[in-house]
Chain A
Amino acid sequence: MTHTIPYPDWQATLDEKARTFLETARERVAENGAEVLPVLFPQLPRRLGREIPGSGLAVVQGRVWDWGAWRACDLAALELVEEAEIPGSMRVDLFLHGDMEERLMAMRTLVPAPVTDATIELLGEAQRTNTVPHFEAAICDSNLLVRALEHSAFGIEDFNRMVLKLAFIDLPLSRVLQATEHANEDLSRMLQDLATEREAAGRAVWADTNRMIARAPTAGTLARLIGGLEHGDDRQRLAAAEGMAALPKRSELAELARERWEREPRPQIRTALEKITAP
């Protein structure tokens, strides 16, 4: 198994007690294998801490993730699961019988690993359980969701459902790396329907809706984008402007964008509008 060494010196922020614990845990794993993980995993957050010791993007064999989302306990969990050469069934077991923190670590340690049957099963759990920290650990701050499409048991319909859940719980699209590359008309329709439903109920609409639907326009997309330019919420207006800038035929909207630009008070939105009018 290829070991993913976390960024150098990640343990520098640990105190001596935590370092000793991790050292002992590694020895226990080396001696007994994965069978000790169910006893070690629950201890990691309280022994190693929940601070985030570093940051930076990792790119390994097409797998991309942001160390800035990894807490000390997550990093230790990664070292232990790799040391143990954890079988997929154990990953699933750690999630199913884990507390909040264990479940989070079980999800996060999927991110640097190859996509296997266990990955797909756990992504299904993230989708089904709808618990925000677990959902975040599974699909945010990495390109795991996109990589999952390489697996025969995970299709574009599964991808769409996950993005729809992202919208439902209002997490930023930018945290799911490379997701916009897989925009599709069916997803646009799903997101637009959710937005309409929310609007009818007087509830907030996912601010990234317009960013995603513009990449694969379907019936109603253009009207929603144009309407978004007049939205009273700055985030919605910005997303509409950025979405329009990503449209394949944006030049047709240049006149509208220019007109809005003259009235737009926010510099960031004005910049986005300029991209629509650019030749």
Chain B
Amino acid sequence: MRIFEPHAHMFSRVTDDYERMALAGIRAILEPAFWLGQNRTSVGTFIDYFDTIIGWERFRAQQFGIHHFCTMGLNPREANDDRVNDDVMAILPRYLEKDSVLGVGEIGLDDQTPKEEKYFLGQIELAKQHELPVLIHTPHRDKKKGFERMIDLIKDSGFPMERVLLDHGNEETIKITKDLGLYSGFSIYPHTKMDPRRMVSILKEYGMERMIINSAADWGISDPLLVPKTCIALEQAGFPDEAIEQLVWDNPITFFEQEGGRLDRAELEKPANIDRRETWDGNSVLRGQDPEKY
């Protein structure tokens, strides 16, 4: 089974994760720009982070046979921070044109403040200008209200619904989003938010169309193998292979595919080329091993 993992923060994961993910069939990863666990105090740290996810992190994934892409954006938590918000908006246009950047994200609402709304709408405009889809983070608290508010904002902005992925959904939010023409994302976590068993139930009820699942693996208690584990749960529940492939391969590719050739389906047919003689910024994933043997 080929898997496109459409939401994993590999920046905060180790090489063992890449190895296990590749062995479990994960052929491509999309890494949304996000909050790093504590607030940044200047735009320079965003620049370095953005450079890392288009540079070193992409290289690191490739060294394990995985194609790496990302989305760029000002996350809602730091949209509230005047030390960085305007400056990050100013640097985004150059990053939104990078080859490996497939969308604007993750953006959205968290505490649901006026500032979050301002920068959310500003980034919807950037997505229009750069002809990119948007990956939207939804609030962990007061989620239903946050979903409804974001849907209203998107509708008012005139942004096409089929280019919207509303992430971190659950049994409640799918009732709101199922008929809107947007993509519904579900982050499957160990013990919280959404688990494989509940995901199977949702998919039984609503089908595979415009559904996307991910692990949202990050620096917290999370599991980068939860997409392949959910595939097994779906298989056990009697879903045919074609339906599972639609969920974990076709849907995310169709969503992130766009004019201009940044995501080449044909290229994804093969694992990324592993060449451990290569380096990025003088660095390699090897620690003294002979690149010709390891």
Interface residues in chain A, defined as those with a beta carbon under 8 Å from any beta carbon in chain B: 38-40, 42-43, 45-47, 96-97, 99-102, 128-132, 203
Partner of B98, one of A40, A99, A130, A132: A99
Task: Knowing A42-B98, A46-B99, A46-B260, say if A99 contacts B278 (CB, 8 Å).
Answer: no
The answer for the CA separation of A102 and B100 in the assembled complex, in Å, is: 12
Sort A-B residue pairs by CB-CB distance and give the 4 closest, nearest first.
A38-B94, A42-B97, A130-B282, A42-B98
Chain A proximity of B154: nearest CB distance (Å)? 25
Task: Name the A residues within 8 Å of B93 (CB-CB).
Answer: 39
Task: Name the B residues within 8 Å of A132 (CB-CB).
Answer: 278-279
Task: Knowing A39-B94, A46-B260, say if A99 contacts B279 (CB, 8 Å).
Answer: no
Interface residues of B in 28-62 (CB under 8 A from A): 47, 51, 54-55, 58
Chain B: interface secondary structure? loop
B262 CB-CB contact with A under 8 Å: yes
Q: Is the CB of B282 within 8 A of A46?
A: no
B280 CB-CB contact with A under 8 Å: yes
Task: Name the A residues within 8 Å of B99 (CB-CB).
Answer: 42, 45-46, 99, 101
Closest to B94 in A: A38
Interface residues in chain B, defined as those with a beta carbon under 8 Å from any beta carbon in chain A: 47, 51, 54-55, 58, 93-94, 97-100, 260-262, 278-282, 292
Closest to B260 in A: A46
Task: Name the A residues within 8 Å of B262 (CB-CB).
Answer: 46
Q: Is the CB of B279 within 8 A of A130?
A: yes
Q: Is the CB of A129 within 8 A of B54?
A: no
Closest to A103 in B: B55
Closest to A125 in B: B281
Partner of B281, one of A42, A46, A47, A129: A129
A-B interface pairs (CB < 8 A), number: 45
Task: Name the B residues within 8 Å of A45 (CB-CB).
Answer: 99
Q: Is the CB of A128 within 8 A of B282?
A: yes
Q: Is the CB of B279 within 8 A of A47?
A: no
The answer for the CA separation of A100 and B58 in the assembled complex, in Å, is: 10
Task: Name the A residues within 8 Å of B282 (CB-CB).
Answer: 128-131
23 contacts between A and B (CB under 8 A): A39-B93, A39-B94, A42-B97, A42-B98, A42-B99, A43-B260, A46-B99, A46-B260, A46-B261, A47-B260, A97-B94, A99-B54, A99-B55, A99-B98, A99-B100, A129-B279, A129-B280, A129-B281, A129-B282, A131-B279, A131-B281, A131-B282, A203-B292
Please name 9 further chain A to chain B contacts, defined as beta carbons within 8 Å, in addition to the given A45-B99, A97-B47, A99-B98, sorted by A numbering.
A38-B94, A40-B97, A42-B99, A46-B261, A46-B262, A128-B282, A131-B278, A131-B279, A131-B281
Task: Name the B residues within 8 Å of A40 (CB-CB).
Answer: 97
Task: Name the B residues within 8 Å of A102 (CB-CB).
Answer: 98
Task: Name the B residues within 8 Å of A131 (CB-CB).
Answer: 278-282
Chain B proximity of A6: nearest CB distance (Å)? 23
Task: Name the A residues within 8 Å of B55 (CB-CB).
Answer: 99-100
Chain B proximity of A149: nearest CB distance (Å)? 24
The answer for the CA separation of A38 and B93 in the assembled complex, in Å, is: 9
Chain A proximity of B164: nearest CB distance (Å)? 24
The answer for the CA separation of A47 and B99 in the assembled complex, in Å, is: 11
Closest to A130 in B: B282
